[in-house]
């Protein structure tokens, strides 16, 4: 299909904001443009004007677009070495009061929430943990709450879990269905799944650890800065932030509140409130 024009992209963003209250205006340009094109191609839509009218008139359709335009590809224990550093260095050094408070920001379909729950369970800490898992999209939160995943994704998940050095087999944590696997719901009994838009909403609380991996890459500089400020407000002193292995907060003013704990795994400790 032909390229979608800048003007049309802006019209789509404006319409979604006005009708659904979701703000895509500070998303990174190339990937967002591609996601719109992908959606139009998948739905065989040629006429951008008609498409915009449809978003305006049909809230259900607009919500499907919002779901499809955001990226929800994730794995359990993606980058196993990240989870090793969390298990061996970061979490043991957190001095929490009553409970270990963790925020999975933009948790998508929840694979990393389950990874964390498994890690904590194996460390004997799951009952001491309070996890908040948020996403902009209620459809993916539903998937996360259910813990029902496609069987075809388990190969990579198991491989990652093995590389992470888990205590058993990943299959210890799920039961097999026909084409799906059902993860043990006990794992997420201490998890609050909440709808939350990093672009618009304020901090959902104070945490000892925030996990937000491969989310900032979809945002432009302005939104990255804003989100990092929210993270600074949401972290107690000496608490931690983990981002994706090729993400960078060095551009942000708010990066000054942090020191690097692991360069390879992109884990930071908050050292001050002074921005």
63 Cβ partners below 8 Å, 6+ apart?
20, 139
Nearer to other proteins, 127 or 248 (CB): 248
> Kindly report the CA angle at 36 between 28 and 56, in degrees rounded to 5?
110
CB of 150 to other proteins, least distance (A): 13
CB of 163 to other proteins, least distance (A): 8
The 3-state DSSP class for residue 102 equals strand
Q: What is the dihedral of CA 67, 226, 6, 59, to 10 degrees?
A: 30
Please give the residue ranges that form the binding site for other proteins (CB under 8 A).
Answer: 3, 28-31, 34-35, 71, 73-74, 78-79, 81, 159-160, 163, 214, 216-218, 221, 224, 244-248, 251
Nearer to other proteins, 2 or 97 (CB): 2
CB of 18 to other proteins, least distance (A): 25
CA dist 155 and 198 (Å) reads 31
18 Cβ partners below 8 Å, 6+ apart?
none
CB of 57 to other proteins, least distance (A): 28
Distances (CA, A) of 253 to 17, 88, 201: 27, 30, 20
CB of 189 to other proteins, least distance (A): 29
Nearer to other proteins, 28 or 48 (CB): 28
């Amino acid at each position: 299909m032909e390229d979608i024009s800048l003007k049309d992209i802006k019209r789509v963003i404006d319409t979604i904001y006005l009708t659904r209250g979701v703000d895509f205006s500070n998303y990174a340009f190339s990937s967002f443009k591609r996601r719109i094109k992908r959606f139009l191609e998948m739905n065989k839509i040629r006429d951008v004007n008609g498409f915009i009218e449809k978003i305006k008139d049909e809230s259900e359709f607009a919500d499907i677009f919002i779901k499809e335009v955001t990226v929800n590809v994730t794995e359990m224990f993606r980058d196993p070495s990240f989870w090793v550093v969390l298990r061996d260095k970061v979490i043991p050094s957190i001095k929490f009061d009553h409970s270990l408070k963790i925020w999975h920001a933009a948790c998508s379909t929840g694979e990393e929430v389950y990874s964390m729950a498994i890690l904590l369970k194996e460390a004997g800490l799951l009952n001491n943990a309070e996890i908040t898992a948020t996403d902009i999209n209620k459809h993916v939160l539903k998937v996360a709450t259910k813990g029902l995943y496609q069987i075809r994704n388990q190969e990579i998940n198991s491989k990652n879990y093995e590389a992470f050095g888990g205590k058993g087999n990943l299959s210890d944590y799920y039961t097999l269905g026909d084409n799906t696997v059902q993860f043990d719901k006990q794992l997420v009994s201490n998890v609050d799944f909440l709808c939350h838009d990093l672009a618009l909403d304020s901090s959902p609380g104070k945490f000892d650890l925030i996990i937000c991996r491969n989310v900032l890459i979809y945002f432009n500089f302005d939104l990255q800065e804003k989100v990092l400020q929210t993270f600074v407000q949401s972290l107690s002193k000496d608490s931690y932030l983990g981002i994706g292995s090729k993400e960078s907060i060095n551009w942000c003013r708010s990066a000054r509140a942090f020191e690097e704990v692991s360069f390879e795994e992109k884990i930071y400790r908050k050292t001050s409130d002074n921005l």
